[in-house]
Structure 1
Amino acid sequence: MTILSVNAKALRLVDKMVRDAAELRISVTTGPLGERLIDAGAAVAGGIEAGLHLARICMGGLGTVSAAADRGPDSWPWSVVVRSSLPVIACLGSQYAGWSLHHGDGGDAYFALGSGPARALAHKEALFDEVAYRDQADHGVLVLETDTAPPPVIVEKVAEDCGIPPSNLTFIYAPTRSLAGTIQVVARVLEVALHKAHAVHFPLERILDGLGTAPISPPHPDFVTALGRTNDAIIYGGHVHLFVSGSKEDAEGLAQALPSAGSRDFGAPFAEIFKRFNGDFYAIDPLLFSPAEVIVTAVDHGASFHSGARSRDLLDKSFR
């Protein structure tokens, strides 16, 4: 049986990104251990197109990501549109930022959350026990939401955990404050819905297909403001449509459980919530991290269920 490799598919996208480096306004260098380093928005301009490439790579080549005009909210009509017919592997098995990478203490410490297909080689997260997917590839690609390239000690760790030499690794990095970083975070709108479905114990194998859209938030040089805007794009502006198997009752229950409005912390821009909890992500209600509006279709019955709504006022408050 042919093994579907998210790293092999992503590598082809990375190679195209490298060939188009000049027009994408990115830089490509080789690190001290032979690893390939791609800066998509830290010391370079990057841009929306670089961010779209980055989001597709995050999904292991199993999703389409584009920018398009949306029907709303009217004040912010340009959106990222994401689609995958293998959403569990694309979103949870690849795109999810679940690999915590850190080294050192104090001012010299390095920390980044790794997302993308190399996670499926390393299998360091308990989530993979439920996703039931492991990649086999001789090259790995990891995306880091940071403004610095990983130090050699992190490169060595990732290579060891993935079972490949450092020279077969590609790291792509862009901070949230950059245009490319903004796009790749907002493009997680479908992934956030999948993760929320997992959190409310909906069987992942019954999620057959999915689409999502969220407004492109304007970047900001301040980290917390930029972080807040990208989260608000999903929490208050995200719209996801999932197609699931099973009973109508289960589909309706999932639709009711998914929207962010069910969270105790819903109702304020994310930057305000983040500051309220003194920057502690883990103190924020995890159920907040979900799209504003959802449709769930039970494909075995032809019934669809709608829940939630997008909030123009909160997006305006966050984005202006």
Structure 2
Amino acid sequence: MISVNENVTKFIDKLLDREEELGIKSYYLENKATVIDCGVNTVGSIGAGILFADISLAGLGKVSVVPGIIDSYYINFAQVYVDRPAIACLGSQKPAWKLKSEGFVGTGFGPARAISQKPKNIYAAINYTDDAETAVINIETQVLPAAKELDYVAKQCSTDPECVVALAARPNSIAGSVVNGTRVVEWAMNRLFQLGYDVKDIQSASGACPIAPLRKEEPMFMGASFDSIAYYGMAYLYAGTRNDTFKEAVSASSKSYGKSFNALLKESQDDFSKVDPAMFAPARLMINGIQDGSLETYGKLDPAMLLESYGLKR
């Protein structure tokens, strides 16, 4: 079986070979772990964001940034295609590993999750594990991880710290914004998983989503980034069989649809976990049946809601 950690080593090499060009910087810590700053203390770049996102998808997809126009506004879109999306999205890209220690808070995702099996119920559902010696972790954080944080990652992955590679970026950095734009397929897969659908039935997928403009305040940026997916994110899934679950896997099925994520965050007292899970779904979903050639579409796009979230006038 493919090792998602070994599969991304070529992307790590590209980052390390192009540090100056990409506006990033690498560090070797006292425990010999490697940290690549893609957008914490560095400015980063779109190119760094693309490689950051490629790694988060375990090298099982391809990311690009393409131009789009919404009501005469030029908007960057993240475009992604993914093979083996159950592994790439749920087994790697999903931000499901909370990292916290004194002076440090971050969210881990990427290939290392498959070694640590966090959370185990996902890996049981997709029937996947990775036992690679090298552990590659993406981290959304406002500060760079230190040796103690990567010692913990190494322990959870049953490897030595010198085998840990951590890529770090603030969510509201250039690289972080690109990565958040690529999550539209992940949101679709995660929502289907929550609804009890066998996500292994999705063989390939693609998606396109506006990249939210950077904001100084991280919560404001994250709200706009989530609005990008929920109100204008599009996912196209190749499914083995038809299923009634698909109609529930779009944001319009939520009772909270029509409200911005920043409004929902205020209602939930700054706790996204209290927001209706149905909102964490793409705006538009197309399902192409592999066996019967069927094509079904669900949800809708809301450009007005998106532009309002970005602070733009129609």
Residue 39 of structure 2 is aligned to residue 44 of structure 1: no
Alpha-carbon separation, structure 2, partners of 1:267 and 1:43: 36
CA distance in 1, matches of 2:176, 2:41: 13
- The residue that corresponds to 2:263 in the other structure is 272
Determine which of 245, 248, 251 is the counterpart of 2:240: 245
1:22 corresponding residue in structure 2: 20
- Counterpart selection for 2:112 from 118, 126, 133: 118
Equivalent in 260, 277, 281 of residue 286 of structure 1: 277
The count of aligned residue pairs is 310
TM-score by length of 1: 0.93
Q: Residue deviations 1:54-106, cap 9 Å, x none?
A: 000001100110011347565354310111121111111111111111124xx
Match of 1:148 in 2: 143
Which consecutive aligned stretches of 4+ in structure 1 deviate over 6 angstroms post-superposition? Answer: none
Q: TM-score, normalised by structure 2?
A: 0.95
Which of 107, 118, 137 is the matching residue for 2:132? 137
Q: CA 1:74/1:94 → structure 2, altered by over 3 Å: closer, same or farther?
A: farther
1:178 aligns with 2:173: yes
**Residues 74 and 200 (structure 1), Cα distance of their counterparts in 2 relative to 1, 3 Å cut:** farther
How far does the alpha carbon of each residue in 1:21-43 deviate from its partner, in whole angstroms, 9 at most, with x for none? Answer: 11100011111211111111111
1:62 alignment partner in structure 2: 60
* Residue type of the alignment partner of 1:129: A
Alpha-carbon shift at residue 281 of structure 1 (Å): 1.4
Corresponding residue to 1:102 among 80, 92, 100: 100
Cα distance in 1, alignment partners of residues 28 and 237 from structure 2: 40
Alpha-carbon spacing, 1:303–1:72, altered in 2? closer, same or farther (3 Å): farther
Q: Give the Cα separation in 2 of the matches to 1:183 and 1:77.
A: 12
The CA RMSD over aligned residues, in Å, is 1.4
Please name the residue that 2:4 is paired with: 6
**Greater CA deviation, 292-301 or 67-76?**
67-76
Q: Which amino acid aligns with 2:107?
A: L
Structure 1 CA distance for aligned equivalents of residues 298 and 202 of structure 2: 17
Q: Distance in 2 between matches of 1:60 and 1:85?
A: 10
| 1:299 lines up with 2:290 in the alignment | yes
Contact 1:142/1:171 (<8 A) preserved: yes
Partner of 1:93: 91
* Equivalent position amino acid for 1:143 in 2: N
8 Å CA contact retained: 1:65, 1:187: yes
Looking at structure 1, the residues matched to 200 and 207 of structure 2 have their Cα atoms a distance apart, in angstroms, of 19
Instruction: Give the aligned partner of residue 204 of structure 1.
Output: 199
Shift of 1:181: 0.6
Report the alpha carbon displacement of residue 254 of structure 1 after superposing the two structures with TM: 3.4
Task: Determine if contact 2:40/2:142 at 8 Å carries over to the other structure.
Answer: yes
Is 2:33–2:147's contact at 8 Å kept on the other side of the alignment?
A: no
1:190 positional shift: 0.7
The 8 Å contact of residues 76 and 215 in structure 1, kept in 2 or not, is answered as no
In structure 2, the partner of 1:234 is 229
Q: CA deviation at 1:20?
A: 0.7
- Out of 130-139 and 57-66, give the one that drifted further: 130-139
Tell me by how many angstroms 1:291 deviates: 0.5
Rounded to whole Å, the distance in 1 between the matches of 2:80 and 2:276 is 25
Is 2:252 aligned against 1:261? yes
- Secondary structure of the residue aligned to 1:65 is strand
How far residue 313 of structure 1 moved from its aligned partner, in angstroms, is 0.6
Moved more, 198-207 or 73-82: 73-82
Structure 2 gaps of 5+ residues are none
- 1:180 alignment partner, SS class: helix
Q: CA deviation at 1:124?
A: 3.0
Question: Aligned partners of 2:308 and 2:75: how far apart in 1?
Answer: 16
